[in-house]
């Protein structure tokens, strides 16, 4: 696999009503190709959120954006640019972290930040937490590479944590 320098070429999804921010590490090759979050067909992100929110899984980029706004969920990634081999989180080097200031100042997220997986959590802790002093809750990755968690397991764990965070809203 060839290492390439890559930039996050699409912005965060959020608005004033966003109450939770979900952060991935960096967009996969498929997501970079489609210029939208969690575009790999085997990534379970959209299935998990749809199940938690008791909605049909959104299929198009426009439907996904509408879903996020309707459910008051903000989505972005920890990394703005890096060198990476394909979609491999373990190959990430030369990190330029994302600036979360516009999201944190332009939404109702407050301290409700979720890291989608261990790599997103460790990158957040290293690069962003020192700037924000807002801890992120690490949840199991929705990536197809995370075979340790079934779809039902992810729905259960994610649903419990999201309901807990929103209860304190």
Rg of the chain in Å (alpha carbons): 15
Q: Given a cut of 90, is residue 3 above it in pLDDT?
A: no
| SS3 letters across 47-101 | HHHHHHCCCCCCCCHHHHHHHHHHHCEEEEECEEEEEEECCCHHHCEEEEECCCH
The model's pTM is 0.95
pLDDT digits over 57-90, tens only?
999 999 999 999 999 999 999 999 989 888 887 8
pLDDT digits over 145-162, tens only?
888 999 999 999 999 999
CATH architecture of 3-167: 3-Layer(aba) Sandwich (3.40)
Every domain of the chain and the residues it spans: 3-167
């Amino acid at each position: 696999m060839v290492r390439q320098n890559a930039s996050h070429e699409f912005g965060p999804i959020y608005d004033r009503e966003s109450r939770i921010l979900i952060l991935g590490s960096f967009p996969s090759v498929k997501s970079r190709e489609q210029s939208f979050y969690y575009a790999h067909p085997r990534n379970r992100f959209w299935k998990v959120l749809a199940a938690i929110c008791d909605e049909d899984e959104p299929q198009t980029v426009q439907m996904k954006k509408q879903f996020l706004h309707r459910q008051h969920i903000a989505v972005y990634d920890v990394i703005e640019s890096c060198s990476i081999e394909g979609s491999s989180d373990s190959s990430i080097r030369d990190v330029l972290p994302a600036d979360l200031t516009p999201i944190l100042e332009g939404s109702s997220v407050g301290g409700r930040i979720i890291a989608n997986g261990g790599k997103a959590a460790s990158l957040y802790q290293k690069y962003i937490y020192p700037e924000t002093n807002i801890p992120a809750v690490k949840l199991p990755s929705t990536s197809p590479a995370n075979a340790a968690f079934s779809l039902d397991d992810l729905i259960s764990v994610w649903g419990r944590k999201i309901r807990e965070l929103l209860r304190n809203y």
